[in-house]
Amino acid sequence: MVPPLRAEVEARGQDGEVIFAFDRSGSALDYAIQACGCVPLPPYIASRRAADFRDDTDYQTLFAATPGAVAAPTAGLHFTGELLRAVEAAGISLHRLTLQVGAGTFLPVKVQDTRDHVMHAENCFLSRETAEALNDVWRRGGRIVAGGTTALRCLESAARSNGRLEAFHAKTDIFITPGYRFQAVDVLMTNFHLPRSTLFMLVCAFGGLERLKAAYAHAVRSGYRFYSYGDATLLFRV
C-alpha cells in the first residue's frame, strides 16, 4: 500500500502550469506517482474519456526508454517491430535520440507576432556515436529522415551552421517557423497538427506554407485523422 500523496501549490504560471511541493522526494516520489497516477493523455483525448490500462501500451512508442516526457512523440506510434525490420532490410539505418516532450507542446500560440511566443525548454540528448553516424550518412550523400517533429527539433538543436551534427545534451527551446534555415534534416515523417500550433508552423517551415495548406485542405476534405492516433505525412524539405 502506498501512503496518500500530498502536495502544496507553490506557484502558478501565466500559461496554466503549476509548481507543487510534495511530501516526499526521490525514488519514493517516483514510486508514489507511478502507483497513484495514470498516463498523461493530451487534452483532446482526456477531454473525451478517462485514461485506462490500455493507454499504458497504446499511447506509447517502441522507442520509449527514458522517463521524463509528458506525452508520446506521436509519429512514433506508427512504427511496429515488423515495419522497423522492413526499413532496415531496405538498407536504411536506424538511429535513436531523446527529446523529452514537455507540457509547452500543448500551449496555443496567443501572440500575433511569433517572435513574441516563448517556447518551454525540453531535455534533449544526441549521443556522440549517433551524431557521427548521421554525419557519415550526410558525407556519403544520403538523406537524414526525422521520425517526428521531436526528433527533428533535437537534430536541429544539435546541428552547426555547416550542417554537421555534434553531441548534444542540454535543454532546447528551439522554435521553428517559416523562414527557418534547416541544417540537418532532409525528410520528415509526422502526423497532422492543429492550425496556429507551433508544430503546424514547423511543418510549414519544412514543407512550404502553400504546399502544406493545400495538403491540409485535402486531408480535411478526405476525412484524414489528426492528432495522436491520426494519419501520417511524409514531407520533403523545400
Coil, strand or helix: which one is 218? helix
Bridging pattern class, strands 18-22 and 187-191: unpaired
Coil, strand or helix: which one is 11? strand
The type of residue at 133 is A
Q: Which residues contact 137 (CB under 8 A, 6 or more apart)?
A: 93, 143, 144
Domain ranges of the chain: 65-236
Give the whole-angstrom CA distance, residue 236 versus residue 48: 34
Residue range 146-203, pLDDT digits in tens = 999 999 999 999 999 887 999 999 999 999 999 999 999 999 999 999 888 889 999 9
Decide: 198 and 109 in contact? Cβ < 8 Å.
yes
The average confidence (pLDDT) of the chain is 90
The type of residue at 15 is D
Instruction: Please state the separation of Cα 157 from the chain's center in Å.
Output: 13
Coil, strand or helix: which one is 187? strand
The pLDDT, as a whole number, for residue 46 is: 85
Give the whole-angstrom CA distance, residue 208 versus residue 217: 14
Report residue 131's pLDDT band, with 50, 70 and 90 as the boundaries.
very high
All three cell numbers of 21, joined, read 511541493
Give the whole-angstrom CA distance, residue 3 versus residue 21: 16
pTM metric for this prediction? 0.88
DSSP per-residue letters across 157-178: HHB-TTS-B--EEEEE-----T
Which comes out higher in pLDDT, residue 92 or 112? 92
Q: How open is the CA angle 163-165-170, to the nearest 5 degrees?
A: 125
Residue range 201-231, pLDDT digits in tens = 999 999 999 999 999 999 999 999 988 888 9
Neighbours of 238 (CB within 10 A): 14
Reported CATH class of domain 65-236: alpha beta
Instruction: Give the residue-averaged pLDDT of 5-10.
Output: 94
Decide: 94 and 144 in contact? Cβ < 8 Å.
no
Decide: 159 and 152 in contact? Cβ < 8 Å.
no
Q: Which residues contact 13 (CB under 8 A, 6 or more apart)?
A: 19
Decide: 31 and 3 in contact? Cβ < 8 Å.
no
Neighbours of 54 (CB within 10 A): 9
